[in-house]
Amino acid sequence: MGLVIIIGAGTGISYGVDQKCGKEGYRIALIARNEPRLEELATALQQEGIDVLYAAGDVAQEDSLRHALNQISQVAGVADMILYNPSGASNKDILDLDWETIKDMLDISVGGYFNLMKMVLPSYLQQNHGKLFVTGGGLSLSGDPRMTALSMGKAAQRNLVQAFQKKVDGTHIHIAQVIVRGYVQPTDEKYNPAAIAEIFWKLFLQQPGEYEGEIIY
């Protein structure tokens, strides 16, 4: 049985990916800060017949993230796919925004992803195989004075993903991001978790020579 790790597990896009990959026969490992919430998510997925494990970890804290990944690898081995999905939000006007809020967002969107890749990419390069995906946001394409911290974080994250893509160019490692330009909710015809999960599944199935690095949706 293969393994898919979801970092930043929740009830939105990541839950759709949980369901899709789980129903395709993959074991699902969830990482997020809130352990009681992780237990609830795992129970819900198990009730759908999906094999799930979880570990609490904070992406903004390098040691915490490393500990969570180690817990999962000790039980389930190396992941076939990792989805980096954490996000935050601040709707303060740009003139009311403080740098600490921006730093917090950068720690999640950029710092956490950077630390993740430093942790896992060397082993993926050694085996010359792996899928490392990111949930991006439409705000990475254009700044917004009401969502400045999030748009800065997502823009920097997008740039960092592109840098790692260049690092693995010519290998069989697939690094990609899906830029979601709409507000995700279960009832939306286009921007619902199941529809976006299908996009990640399409990326997951791609073979060397077919790899797409970015899908703007």
How many separate domains does the chain show?
1
* Those residues with Cβ within 8 angstroms of residue 165's Cβ, 6 or more apart along the chain or in another chain: 175, 176, 213
C-alpha–C-alpha distance, residues 141 and 69, integer Å: 31
**DSSP assigned state of 187:** T
Residue 190 to residues 18, 103, 105, 180, 196, Cα–Cα distance (Å): 18, 32, 27, 10, 8
Q: Which pLDDT score, from 0 to 100, does residue 172 have?
A: 98
Q: Which pLDDT score, from 0 to 100, does residue 114 have?
A: 98
Sequence length of the chain is: 217
* Those residues with Cβ within 8 angstroms of residue 36's Cβ, 6 or more apart along the chain or in another chain: none
Helices (H), 81-209: 99-106, 112-127, 148-167, 193-205
Q: Which pLDDT score, from 0 to 100, does residue 89 have?
A: 76
CATH of the domain at 132: 3.40.50.720
Residues of the chain with pLDDT under 70: none
How many other C-beta atoms lie within 10 A of the C-beta of residue 188? 12
The identity of residue 18, as a single letter, is D
Which pTM does this prediction carry? 0.95
Q: Which pLDDT score, from 0 to 100, does residue 77 have?
A: 95
Tokens 């950029």 belong to 110
Which residue range forms the structural domain that includes residue 127? Answer: 3-216
Q: Which pLDDT score, from 0 to 100, does residue 141 have?
A: 92
Average pLDDT over the chain, rounded to an integer: 96
C-alpha–C-alpha distance, residues 41 and 11, integer Å: 8
